Amino acid sequence: MILESIGVFFLAALSYWLRKLSLSGALCAILVGVSIAYGTGLPGLLLLAGFFISSVVWSMLLKSKKENDIDLKDGARDGSQVLANGGVAAILAVLSGVTGEKLFFLGFVVALAAATSDTWASELGRLSRGKPIDVIRFQRVKTGTSGAVSLLGTIAALMGSFFIVGLAYVIEGATYSLSLFLGMVLAGFIGNLVDTYVGATVQVKYRCQDCQTVTEKIEHCGNVTIKDRGYRIFNNESVNLLCTVVAPLFFFALYGIFR
């Protein structure tokens, strides 16, 4: 636990230094990491590292490929973004440690799989050659728009969920049945689908008054953007949070079938 916490602290400090996390982001990452260390020990921490390191690696590898003026996925993550992605996983990890209930650990894996699915989809989806399609309006929209999908992004979402569940499978000594394994991958992916659907329907979007780009950013072309549609409560963070809440709930509801 102490050794693990030192590892968490080191990784958070490194991420802060690399400007992948802001100060509030690093502090919240320590909170999430130590909760997971407390609840699950090393296995959960390795999964958290899998999520975090893969996200950072994708963003570094793909950084220069495409300009991003639509979404908020660039720059250092702040505390609310870290909690939106890792908060539910941390709570489930603590529940797993306190109760000793295996189901909570599986839910923890699924919440992390959902966060990974979402992150990989948005990082890799950017590389898609065609413009993504808005899932509600069936129109092509600018790369990076919430609620739009591409084939590459969808495959990346599946792979992200598969990566975390696969890592858990390896770490846990391959104790899952095939149906449980696939159910967990599916649940993580469903979280990403909810993220996309909410992104296309009620998530708040702003419009740049200069270039008319619809964006999640509150500033564009050096000016403040105006609200275009959606509800302010459904911002990038709350939608991410919803993604990581829905995935384990979906999994718990269907656990009887998956197990």
Complex with Zn ion: residue 19 or 66, whichever CB lies closer = 66
Complex with Zn ion: residue 208 or 241, whichever CB lies closer = 208
With contacts defined by CB under 5 A, name the span among 21-29, 54-62, 159-167, 215-223 that binds Zn ion: 215-223
Smallest distance from Zn ion to CB 227, Å: 15
Question: Which of 23, 122, 124 shows the shortest CA–CA distance to 72?
Answer: 122
Number of residues that bind Zn ion (CB under 5 A): 6
Smallest distance from Zn ion to CB 211, Å: 3
Conformational region of residue 230, where left means phi above 0, alpha means psi within -120 to 50, and beta covers everything else: left
Contact string 170-209 vs Zn ion (x = CB under 5 A): --------------------------------------x-
With contacts defined by CB under 5 A, name the span among 3-11, 147-155, 176-184, 217-225 that binds Zn ion: 217-225
What whole-number distance in Å separates Cα of residue 52 and Cα of residue 37?
15
| Contact flag: residue 220 with Zn ion (CB under 5 A) | yes
Q: Which residue is nearest to Zn ion (CB)?
A: 208
Among 1, 57, 170, 221, binds Zn ion (CB under 5 A): 221
Among 211, 218, 233, 253, binds Zn ion (CB under 5 A): 211
Smallest distance from Zn ion to CB 73, Å: 18
| Contact flag: residue 210 with Zn ion (CB under 5 A) | yes
Interface with Zn ion by CB under 5 A: which residues?
A: 208, 210-211, 213, 220-221
